Amino acid sequence: METNDKLRILTASAKFDAACTSSGSERRSFKGGIGSAVSAGCCHAFSSDGRCISLLKVLYTNYCVNDCKYCLCRRSNDIERASFEPRELADLFMNFYRRNYVEGLFLSSGIIRDPDYTAERLLEVLKILREEYFFCGYIHVKAIPGSSPELIKALGLLADRMSVNIELPSESSLRLLAPQKSKEKVTRPMGQIRDGIIQRKNELKLFKSAPRFVPAGQSTQMIIGATPDSDYQIIRLSQALYRTYGLKRVFYSAYVPVGSHPALPKDIKPPLLREHRLYQADWLMRYYGFTADEILSEENDHLDPLLDPKAFWALNHLEQFPVEINSAPYEMLLRVPGIGVSCARRIVSARRAGRLNFDDLKKLRVQLKNSVYFITCNGKYLFPAFKMNHSFIYGGLTAASSMMPAVTEHRQLTMNDDFDALQPTTEERLKCLTGQF
């Protein structure tokens, strides 16, 4: 088979994996080596669905012994199948990399023969790249569930990021749709990678040249909308993963109907808005100090389609507002709808130089459209008529255009500007805007 056809088939099979970030790892090239990685990540193109293309995202093979009902590559599905040869894939990748088409490699695979055999093939690709080409750029590789710990360790020593996909947010869904998988099969490699990362951190304290192990951390993915799991269950699970396994990212992928099982929804549009809201909630947990139980609850277990989760929270906690811009702690500024991480930092920095009023906020390009209901400057609202009134604010937040033309006139549309290298990274922020991640 021609490389051409292999690339087409194995890209088509990989495209539903949402993770395509190159962030979190800093690598420098050395003489004779090639490649580098910047921790902010880098997008090289945007595909027709508006998602960022950062990595060469392919499967090593789309033959698979498993029969997961939601997956395009399930054994029982009648599709074109192909496999790369390790050297063929490594050469193709290096040719893409030298032309600056991509920032790194994302290598996943169906399970061919058995998990260990598959993991060995992936390891071979990584070895060619790191030890023959001396490639110093970004590599994301899948930990194959069920493969031996030695192989996972060997992969982790060569890769920047590893991931094990949970795919379905609850064990009952997993049992129904992915009979060959189990929670244990997913969490075991996750635990191993976490322990490896911790071990490396401890070794670093003792000696400087401790070998790198998964320096960009691990991530996972969940499919949204294939099973009846609620948003509350999903973000609770994400929170648990961040806390217990120290994951860097959880990706959410709106389900595109490719499955066959009677329990799977058919003819649905991918739930993109739901995916977007979940990412917003995820951001709140990672960068804004929110917990899952602040965002949703047992009774109210789905994210609001009209309001973003932060605005929703603020509306239900009006007793904590208004927030005085000149004195509120940074953590509280972050909780104001319309004020993000970079914006809050700018306010904190600027108010060291003097008291701020609303004109100053406009100069700092603070977006007032949503935040104006929740903030005061020197004890005053922008408009004295503003009352801490639920329905009034709800109307303002959900109105298609701002209720205050006088304010928005001055507003710049480029709000995602920060003055220092801040978290979240540029790449992530771009994705935040696209609802893609």
Partner 1 sequence: MSDGTILDELSTVYVYDGSYDGLFTAIFDAVYSRREPADIVSQERLQLMLATRFVEVETDPSKAARVKKAAREKLGSQAMSRVYRAYLSSGSNREIFIYHYLMMGFRLGKKAGNFLTDPYVFNVFSLSQNVSRETDKMMGFMRFSIMEGGVQYCRFSPENNILPLTLSHFISRFPGIPMVIHDTGRRLLGVYDGKDRYIVSAEGFVPPKKSSDEECFEGLWKLFYDTIGIKERKNLKLMKQLMPARYFRHVWEF
Residues that bind partner 1 (CB under 8 A): 3-4, 7-8, 11-12, 14-16, 28-36, 40, 42-54, 56-57, 92, 95-96, 98-101, 103, 137, 254, 256-257, 269-270, 272, 346, 349-350, 352-354, 356, 360, 363-364, 417-420, 426, 430, 433-434
Nearest residue (CB) to partner 1, 246 versus 270:
270
Residues 6+ apart with CB under 8 A from 307: 315, 394, 397, 398
Return the number of the residue (91 or 301) whose C-beta is nearest partner 1: 91
In 3-state terms, what secondary structure has residue 252? strand
**Cβ closer to partner 1: 21 or 239?**
21
Residue type, 350: A
Nearer to partner 1, 74 or 236 (CB): 74
From the CB of residue 299, how many other CB atoms can be counted at a distance below 10 Å? 6
Min. distance of Cβ 365 from partner 1 in angstroms?
Answer: 8
Minimum Å distance from CB 4 to partner 1?
Answer: 7
Instruction: Report the nearest approach of partner 1 to the CB of residue 421 (Å).
Output: 9
Pairing state of beta strands 45-46 and 52-53?
antiparallel
CA 239/CA 260 separation, integer angstroms: 31
Give whichever of 238 and 436 is closer to partner 1, judged by the CB atom: 436
Residue 317 Cβ vs partner 1, minimum distance, rounded to whole Å: 29
The owner of tokens 């199948």 is: 81
* Closer residue to partner 1 in complex, CB, 183/269: 269
* Closer of 87 and 98 to partner 1 (Cβ): 98
CA distances from residue 334 to 30, 61, 285, 346, 384 in whole angstroms, order as listed: 41, 44, 12, 12, 24
CA–CA separation, 121 vs 118, rounded Å? 5
Kindly tell me which of 18 and 123 has the beta carbon lying closer to partner 1.
18
Smallest separation (angstroms) from partner 1 to the CB of 78: 19
- At 230 the three-state DSSP class reads coil
Cα(383)–Cα(396) distance, integer angstroms:
13
Indicate left, alpha or beta for 186 from its phi (over 0: left) and psi (-120 to 50: alpha).
alpha
- Two tokens, residue 40: 């902010």
3-state secondary structure of 396: helix
Least distance between partner 1 and beta carbon 151 (Å): 28
140 contacts 104 by C-beta, under 8 angstroms? yes
CA angle 153, 158, 162 (to 5 degrees): 65
- Minimal distance, residue 148 CB to partner 1, in Å: 31
- In the chain, the amino acid numbered 201 is K
| Residue 181 or 276 with smaller CB distance to partner 1 | 276
Q: CB 392 → partner 1: shortest distance, Å?
A: 30
CB of 435 to partner 1, least distance (A): 8
* Conformational region of residue 196, where left means phi above 0, alpha means psi within -120 to 50, and beta covers everything else: alpha
Cβ distance 204 to 248 under 8 Å? no
